[in-house]
Amino acid sequence: MYKIVRKHVFNPTETLFEIEAPEIAKKAQPGQFVILRGDENAERIPLTVGGYDREKGTVTVIFQIVGASTFKLNQLNEGDSLHDFVGPLGRPTEITGEKVCVVGGGLGCAIAYPIAKAFHDAGKDVTSIAGFRTKDLVILADEFEANSTKFIPCSDDGTYGRKGVVTGPLEELLKNGEKFDKVITIGPVIMMKFVTEVCKKYNVPECVCSMNPIMIDGTGMCGCCRLTVGGQTKFACVDGPDFDAYEVDFNEAMNRGRFYKAFEKKAYEEAKCNLLKKEGK
């Protein structure tokens, strides 16, 4: 069993767990992920490693409450234990290039932050751009600030940082002559698509995206996380999650990601109703 040693609620939809998992903490690297289950009857949930402490033997994950499984997961508290916690899985992010820009959106910032920190710790020049819908959904702002050469926060409604989406400041920097060896983008697929288009427009040498499609086993056997990259089928769990963004078929990825939205919403509402019934509400 894997004990939750810390729980931090960022807002009504996003929560952080610090999990006691010494063997995983020894090996985890930025960009990799774990698969967990809250109890023996729960479905498998893939979550990117949001941080790790090798001395304490803990791994941090951040999740968004979007369906029944994450709703139930959020009912756990400090001192409770997860039934399964498997990893690290996937290929770690390559810490190459001297001047990089890390672009995160929404919950993708939970992935973008440890990557930005890894580049910063390696002595690289790091520009971080973090975008959120509104101020109430901001996460890890202080951490980005402390681990970036330049940090540009923004929000859709202007309540936090610059008003607008992340492609705005990115294009402004590139248009004004900023040269990046690499841009790494993590967030909603539509956001990563447009970040990639901006990078193409300004001939950025390398653009990397972190893909998080539907996933089940995490070993490449089920095929659920397949993507088309450079005209070939790739599996995010074993070939990624990082890919050459210039080669990814984002439109296909968006279409596949919408397959279970209606089911997810229905399952979430049922789980919520069942919990309220148990609590007599």
pLDDT by 10s per residue, the chain, length 281 = 799 999 999 988 899 999 999 999 999 999 999 999 888 888 888 998 989 999 999 999 999 888 788 888 999 999 999 999 998 999 999 999 999 999 999 989 988 999 999 999 999 999 999 999 999 999 999 999 999 999 999 999 999 999 999 999 999 999 999 999 999 999 999 999 999 999 999 999 999 999 987 777 777 788 888 899 999 999 988 998 999 999 999 998 888 766 556 555 655 565 555 555 555 55
> Looking at the domain assignment, is residue 276 inside a domain?
no
Question: Residue 34 corresponds to which tokens in the numbers above?
Answer: 């774990």
> Looking at the domain assignment, is residue 262 inside a domain?
no
Query: Which residues constitute the domain of residue 198?
Result: 99-257
23: domain CATH number is 2.40.30.10
The distance of Cα 18 from the centroid of its chain, to the nearest Å, equals 16
> Looking at the domain assignment, is residue 187 inside a domain?
yes
> Looking at the domain assignment, is residue 271 inside a domain?
no
Shared domain check, 151 and 42? no
pLDDT of residue 80: 94
Angle between helices 167-175 and 189-201 (to 10 degrees): 10
pLDDT of residue 190: 94
Of 89, 117, 134, the residue at which a domain comes to its end is: 89
Shared domain check, 184 and 63? no
Residues 6+ apart with CB under 8 A from 40: 83
pLDDT of residue 219: 78
pLDDT of residue 256: 72
Shared domain check, 119 and 70? no
Shared domain check, 63 and 104? no
Helix (H, G, I), strand (E, B) or coil at 180: coil
> Looking at the domain assignment, is residue 279 inside a domain?
no
CA distances to 140, 243, 281 from 147, rounded to whole Å, are 11, 24, 45
Residues 6+ apart with CB under 8 A from 118: 29, 30, 93, 95
Shared domain check, 204 and 251? yes
124: domain CATH number is 3.40.50.80
Of 67, 89, 111, the residue at which a domain comes to its end is: 89
pLDDT of residue 93: 93
> Looking at the domain assignment, is residue 270 inside a domain?
no
Of 44, 59, 89, the residue at which a domain comes to its end is: 89
Shared domain check, 192 and 147? yes
pLDDT of residue 279: 54
Beta-bridge mates of residue 186: 104
Rg (CA), the chain: 18
pLDDT of residue 65: 87
Shared domain check, 113 and 32? no
pLDDT of residue 1: 78
Beta-bridge mates of residue 58: 20, 53
Tally of domains in the chain: 2
> Looking at the domain assignment, is residue 265 inside a domain?
no
Shared domain check, 74 and 122? no
The distance of Cα 254 from the centroid of its chain, to the nearest Å, equals 16
Question: Residue 221 corresponds to which tokens in the numbers above?
Answer: 């056997």
pLDDT of residue 12: 87
> Looking at the domain assignment, is residue 239 inside a domain?
yes
Shared domain check, 76 and 138? no
pLDDT of residue 266: 58
pLDDT in tens, 185-231: 999 999 999 999 999 999 999 999 999 877 777 777 888 888 999 99
Shared domain check, 253 and 133? yes
Shared domain check, 112 and 234? yes
Shared domain check, 229 and 110? yes
The distance of Cα 62 from the centroid of its chain, to the nearest Å, equals 8
